[in-house]
Chain A
Amino acid sequence: GENVEQHPSTLSVQEGDSAVIKCTYSDSASNYFPWYKQELGKRPQLIIDIRSNVGEKKDQRIAVTLNKTAKHFSLHITETQPEDSAVYFCAAIREGGSEKLVFGKGTKLTVNP
């Protein structure tokens, strides 16, 4: 089955700096990779996703890149703000199959003002 590894587990940056979180997956058949943000005491919410037919996707200050050959994908947040502080989770699934959505263990991002 799928296994998703996520690094780092904690990340502290200064406001305005960039943050990068990396994930690797094991199942080469996985083709959909969402990223979730979870603020303290709240439910995880989707912030961006990417499918295996593209290598990069951007939405304002956040972007995700995918390297299918290496089976890894990354979340990039530019011009970080204190409200970006949260726990971020990557996940992977094979769309259209009977596979489950598997999450990484999360990265706690702290943006210091």
Chain B
Amino acid sequence: DTGVSQDPRHKITKRGQNVTFRCDPISEHNRLYWYRQTLGQGPEFLTYFQNEAQLEKSRLLSDRFSAERPKGSFSTLEIQRTEQGDSAMYLCASSPSWTGNTEAFFGQGTRLTVV
């Protein structure tokens, strides 16, 4: 499969627990995004990487959220001390970053439910 893959697809966790999601981008893509999507809303930007560098982090992202892309390939998104408001679909997307070719491809997402 040469598309963007995310794992797990679904996660149910109790409030207060930590969770970690993984995203494997398309191999030649050096840009990787994390978005959060709630029902009926557009993808809300969380953070993005160019290779291993985290270039921007949304001001909406609390200190409980952290993302890494240690070798410029796969990325992880960790949420510590989860809250019910964290329940959402977490989408990962990847793209090239050179002019003329920035189409972003999305993974199928990780649906998080905090109970």
List B contacts of A96 (CB < 8 A).
97-99
A105 interface hit (Cβ, 8 Å)? yes
Q: How large is the interface on A (under 10, 10 to 19, 20 to 34, 35 or more residues)?
A: 20 to 34
A32/B91 in contact, CB under 8 A: no
Q: A101-B95, A106-B42 are in contact. Are A43 and B55 (CB under 8 A)?
A: no
**Interface SS of chain A:** strand
Q: A43-B109, A89-B42, A89-B43 are in contact. Are A100 and B103 (CB under 8 A)?
A: no
A46/B103 in contact, CB under 8 A: yes
A27 interface hit (Cβ, 8 Å)? no
B40/A108 in contact, CB under 8 A: yes
B91/A43 in contact, CB under 8 A: yes
Q: Which of B's residues lie within 8 Å of A, judged by CB?
A: 33, 35, 40-45, 48, 50, 55-56, 91, 93, 95, 97-100, 102-109
